[in-house]
Amino acid sequence: MNRQALIQLIVRKRSFLCIGLDSDLAKIPSHLLTEEDPVFTFNRAIIDATHDLAIAYKPNFAFYESRGTAGWQSLTRTINYIRDTYPGQLFTIADAKRGDIGNTSGQYACTVFDPRSSGLEFDAVTVAPYMGEDSVKPFLAYSGKWVILLALTSNKGAEDFQFFGPRDHPLFKEVLTKSTTWGDTGNMMYVIGATQAKMLGEVRNLVPDHFLLVPGVGAQGGSLAAVAENGLNQDCGLIVNSSRDILFASSGTDFAMKARAAATILQAEMEQILIKSPATGRAFH
Amino acid sequence: MNRQALIQLIVRKRSFLCIGLDSDLAKIPSHLLTEEDPVFTFNRAIIDATHDLAIAYKPNFAFYESRGTAGWQSLTRTINYIRDTYPGQLFTIADAKRGDIGNTSGQYACTVFDPRSSGLEFDAVTVAPYMGEDSVKPFLAYSGKWVILLALTSNKGAEDFQFFGPRDHPLFKEVLTKSTTWGDTGNMMYVIGATQAKMLGEVRNLVPDHFLLVPGVGAQGGSLAAVAENGLNQDCGLIVNSSRDILFASSGTDFAMKARAAATILQAEMEQILIKSPATGRAFH
């Protein structure tokens, strides 16, 4: 999906909500455990209940890999279901945080972008920057696909290395500035944790036009209003993720309905933000 | 496998060779492609032909994931074959370069260490440091298992961020110094690329007793002699990986025999190094 199509999704749905499909088998409603593929059944119900409120879904690979081949089957079914049922209506993010030497990153790119190879086809993949340019470039070789590079993450450990270096130009800023030359605003985004909302203004100074994927709203403590205030640009430029607050809004048979209710609250808040923001107001009035 | 058992493997086999099972379906001998699981058949033949020369095997997950669920089956069969056929005789490394926020890294730890969850059980996993302490700690919660943290990698992109910061204390040194407090020499190792042999002395100043996993010998251009000269400690302290030079020594039906020949050359060189080194000579004479 190219940038223009992504922006059109945001405008049409009046939302920049991504739902993180961190579908932990131990946390999904117990009545689903008798299904042949409980995680896929759960995901399908969540997607059907929220597809008009969200612009994107983001399965975190850890929750699938941890169940081995069975987990990969759930992941494959989920991503194929989205593409077959809602074609062109949803942006899909492989939250895999991959990165290796060049030829090996090429194999990871096959995994997430080439369905003839892996059975999977996402629109975007999260990539870790530590190994540098040749670990990122192979993902950028796919037309219409995106790299979402980790810059400033939402966890406590972000402080350990992401702020290393000169006070006014720590590592995460070096990652932002150096990597902008590897791709462009049509094939690269950055992960900026919502818990880092106070840093979003500084991030925007370095990458004013890129989309930012913002996890950490809700369960991890980030505020949507603060993120929007510091992060919106004229194209919205934000994809804000919520996982647990939506997925596990109820552990009963009403889980999908409760997920929709939770997503509706976020979408409504996002719509108000888009209408009221000086950055985006013109497009959304 | 604990540290003492690993050292005993090195002493008994007179080798510190790891064979990287980067078993690209496009590169394995074509006569295997009619097999039900060509990659597993290839891996099994390589392992049977080299198990007495190598102390460790290291499948890089990218080459398995890129074939989706079929690839995960090959990976699972391979790692189970090693554990069932050569119990206690080989150290296994999941070269996955994972890392995520704490609870998600916990899921990745399940993937590589908990066979009841994923069907896989490795002795060690490579982890990317960018997200800091809470992204690494969940892997250290497994007794007898190891984290191998990326510090200084063998690729060109290593220069982009790993040398960021003060000249005498760039990022990779900060990674080394900070992370030593997260575990100890019995559950943490570091990836130091063989192409960085000139930096190995500085690495040894910071982590004199840790094991180092050294990729990049051979195809990537690193020299075994230079690595050993700068990296050996009294327990050997090195695991040197070779992948393509062994795996793809021949594309014919003699591939396993040629792989053994290539591994034999490396093992013999390692034995001489272990005997002649002032660091390890006493144990190996």
Walking along chain A (285 residues) 10 residues at a time, the average pLDDT comes out as: 97 98 97 98 98 98 97 98 98 98 96 97 98 98 98 95 97 98 98 87 96 85 87 96 96 98 96 91 71
pLDDT for res B216: 81
Catalytic status, residue B97? yes
Confidence of residue B222 (pLDDT cuts 50, 70, 90): confident
- Select the residue of B132, B153, B155 nearest A158 (Cβ to Cβ): B132
- From residue B72, give the alpha-carbon distance in Å to each of A3, A139, B38: 33, 21, 13
Nearest chain A residue to B102 by CA distance is A155
Give B222's contacts in chain A (Cβ within 8 Å).
none
Least confident piece of the model among A192-201, B12-21, B95-104:
A192-201
- Contact between A150 and A176 under an 8 Å Cβ cutoff? The reply is no
State mean pLDDT over B204-230. Answer: 89
pLDDT for res A198: 81
pLDDT one-digit tens code per residue, B54-72: 999 999 999 999 999 999 9
- Cβ <8 Å between B131 and A155: yes
Topology (CATH level 3) of domain A3-284: TIM Barrel (3.20.20)
Confidence of residue B167 (pLDDT cuts 50, 70, 90): very high
The residue among B280 and A63 whose pLDDT is bigger is: A63
Q: For residues A127 and A95, what is the distance between their CA atoms, to the nearest angstrom?
A: 8
Q: Smallest Cα–Cα separation from B142: which of B187, B192, B86?
A: B187
Q: What is the mean pLDDT of chain B?
A: 95
- From residue B94, give the alpha-carbon distance in Å to each of B2, B60, B125: 16, 7, 5
State mean pLDDT over B226-246. Answer: 95
- Cβ <8 Å between A76 and B69: yes
Nearest chain B residue to A220 by CA distance is B101
pLDDT for res B279: 84
Total length of chain A: 285
Residue with the two structure tokens 């144990």? B283
Total length of chain B: 285
Residues linked to residue B241 through DSSP beta bridges, in sequence order? B18
Residue of A25, A155, A179 to mutate for B, most B C-beta atoms under 10 A = A155
Q: For residues B244 and B43, what is the distance between their CA atoms, to the nearest angstrom?
A: 13
- Cβ <8 Å between A175 and B161: yes
Q: For residues B127 and B135, what is the distance between their CA atoms, to the nearest angstrom?
A: 9
Residue A166 identity: P
pLDDT for res A196: 78
Residue A68 identity: G
Q: Which of A13, A58, A97, A173 is catalytic?
A: A97
Residue with the two structure tokens 């180092």? B212
Give the pair of three-digit tokens for residue A212. Answer: 């930012």
**B247: region left, alpha or beta (phi > 0 left; psi from -120 to 50 alpha):** alpha
- Contact between B37 and B77 under an 8 Å Cβ cutoff? The reply is yes
Q: Which of B27, B97, B137, B258 is catalytic?
A: B97
pTM more than 0.95: yes
Q: For residues B247 and A202, what is the distance between their CA atoms, to the nearest angstrom?
A: 48
Residue of B77, B104, B136 to mutate for A, most A C-beta atoms under 10 A = B104
> What DSSP string runs through B21-48?
----TTTS-GGGGGSSSHHHHHHHHHHH
State mean pLDDT over B21-40. Answer: 97
Q: For residues A116 and A140, what is the distance between their CA atoms, to the nearest angstrom?
A: 18
Cβ within 8 Å of residue B131, ≥6 positions away: A97, A128, A150, A153, A155, A157, A158, B99, B100, B101
Q: What is the DSSP letter of B19?
A: E
* A·B CB contacts under 8 A: 195
Residue of A21, A39, A100 to mutate for B, most B C-beta atoms under 10 A = A100
Nearest chain B residue to A165 by CA distance is B165
Q: What is the DSSP letter of A163?
A: T
- Cβ <8 Å between A130 and B130: yes
Confidence of residue B87 (pLDDT cuts 50, 70, 90): very high
- Contact between B52 and B95 under an 8 Å Cβ cutoff? The reply is no
Q: What is the DSSP letter of A251?
A: S
- Cβ <8 Å between A22 and B175: no
Q: Where are the beta strands (DSSP E) in A99-138?
A: 124-127
- Cβ <8 Å between B62 and A100: yes
Angle at B22 between CA B21 and CA B25, to 5 degrees: 115
Q: What percentage of chain B exceeds 90 in pLDDT?
A: 92
- Contact between B99 and B135 under an 8 Å Cβ cutoff? The reply is yes
Q: Where are the domains of chain A?
A: 3-284
Whether the ipTM is more than 0.90: the answer is: yes
- Cβ <8 Å between B66 and A119: no
Q: For residues A125 and A113, what is the distance between their CA atoms, to the nearest angstrom?
A: 9
Give B74's contacts in chain A (Cβ within 8 Å).
none
Q: What is the DSSP letter of A116?
A: H
Give the pair of three-digit tokens for residue A232. Answer: 């919106």
Residue with the two structure tokens 């997260």? B182
